[in-house]
Structures are given as structure tokens and as C-alpha cells.
Amino acid sequence: MISIKYKKFFMPEVNKFPDGTFRINIPEIMITDNSPIEIIWTYREISDLTLLVYIAEYLKENYNNPINLYMPYIPDARMDRVNDKSEVFTLKYFCRIINFLDFSKVTVLDAHSAVSVALLNHCENISPEKYINSAVEMSAIDKDNDYIFFPDEGSCKRYSAMFRDFHNIGFGIKKRNRSDGKILRLDINGDSPCNKKVLLIDDICSYGGTAYYSALKLKELGCKEIYLYFTHCENSIAKGELLKGNLIEHIYTTNSLLSIEPDNKITVIDCL
């Protein structure tokens, strides 16, 4: 989904011809100064990239103002390296397309990979701290008595500096099957979660497998309640195990990616 902002929001009218190509109409923008025109791309599917190209090129051709892009979720960010010549480095080519559009500024939220930020020109990676703090507040996590958990060492490195005042912190160490990558078990390093309320924090959730196995282990170790925060949550969470049963209490996420009708266990925080 793509919108345009200059003083106020403008929604392009997007239709398609019978062959599937776009027919786009954009309301005239009454320019009063040299403030940037911002394109907001809320990712839904990769075909939106074509729509972005058309809209960005149209704006550059018709207005002299700087054009910025706010893209909270970076598509292809998981494909940030290749292991052999047969693999296509999709993130590199995606970033080349964004760079070709020559935005004055590209703003992203909690980028999954530092590689993506390095490959994008004029890129600012916004911290998700205020959204995480909202999750802490809504779940009523207490810094003295409750527990912050990171499901792997990567998320621990990414977010632990935000929780220097918290007394109880732990992170997961995943043991995977080498042949298919499935999680075999998860060990916990750090303070004990026994009799504590837990907030698990990570950047991306797809089916929620890592969070699910983390929650099982935390329950095994005697924690009381489990709450989850993900900056970016894919619609596929509805097909996983997290929303089934009573293993977890609630999930907090932004609207950077999730587009399905939220489950009653999900609270969506506005980041747009």
C-alpha cells in the first residue's frame, strides 16, 4: 500500500487494466514551499515495487520538491548474503532499484540486516524503542520483578541496551537440525524466569516458530505469563502455533507489515 504526504495525506487511485498493468491517478498537490514530498510504502506484496517506481518517477517529473521514502519494512532483507553462485542476491538488486529512484532520504524501521542499510543511499534506520516501550507499558512489565527475553543472541545484541535498568534478562540459544534448519531445542542463558512475567522481543515474526519454542521453554522453567513484541509481523503468524491455546497472553506489533484482521491476542501499534 502506497500513500503520499505533503502537509496532508494523498491516496493514489490505483486500478488495473485487463492485462494486470496499473492505471494510476494522483490528485494534484498544491505546493506552497520546498518541504519534501514523502512516499509511504507499507509493504503488502513485492508487486508494490512496480507501483512505487511509477509513483516516484511521476512525482520527480511533476514537482521540484525533494522526494523522500518511508519504508518501515524492507523487503528482501532476509536475503542479505549468498552462499554460492546459484543464489540470487535479491536484497542487493532491490536496493539498486530504490537507489535508482534517487530519493533525498530513505527511512526504515528496525532494519533486519545492517547490510540493507549499507546498500541503501541516504538511509536512516529508526529505532523501535518507542514501540517497544509501548509494549512494556501495555503488558505492565516491571523492571524490578519481571523478565525481558530475547529469543537469540542477535536480538539480544540489537535491543539489550534499551533495558539496562531491568534486573532480569535472558536470551535463547537455538539448536537446529543441520539438514532442514528446524529448531530441535532451545536453551536459555541469563537470569531465571521462574515466577516472573515475561516480555519476549524480536524484530520479525513469520510463523512464530522461534517465539513458540522460546515460550515452551520459558513455561518449562516456571514463568507466569508471556507477552511478545515484534516490530514486523507477517500475516503468516495466523498459520503458526502462537495464537493457539493459552501458551502466550498477548502479542504487540506495528502496522508496518501485518494486514490481516488482528486476532484478539494481537495489538497493533501505529508506526505510519
Three-class secondary structure of residue 242 per DSSP? coil
pTM (predicted TM-score) = 0.90
Residue written as cell 506489533?
253
- Which residue ranges of the chain lie beneath pLDDT 70? 176-184, 262
Q: Tell me the CATH architecture of domain 2-126.
A: 3-Layer(aba) Sandwich (3.40)
What pLDDT is stored for residue 181 in this prediction? 60
3 exposure class (CB count in 10 Å sphere: 0-12, 13-18, 19+): middle
Average pLDDT value for the chain: 92
162-214 pLDDT, tens digit each? 999 999 999 988 776 666 666 667 788 888 899 999 999 999 999 998 899 99
Residue 60, amino acid:
K
User: Are 148 and 125 a contacting pair, CB within 8 Å?
Assistant: no
Number of H helices, E strands in the chain: 6, 15
What pLDDT is stored for residue 184 in this prediction? 63
CATH 3.40.50.2020 fits 129-269, yes or no: yes
The Cα–Cα gap between 168 and 115 comes to 31
Sequence spans of domains, the chain:
2-126, 129-269
Domains 2-126 and 129-269 share a fold: yes
What pLDDT is stored for residue 103 in this prediction? 98
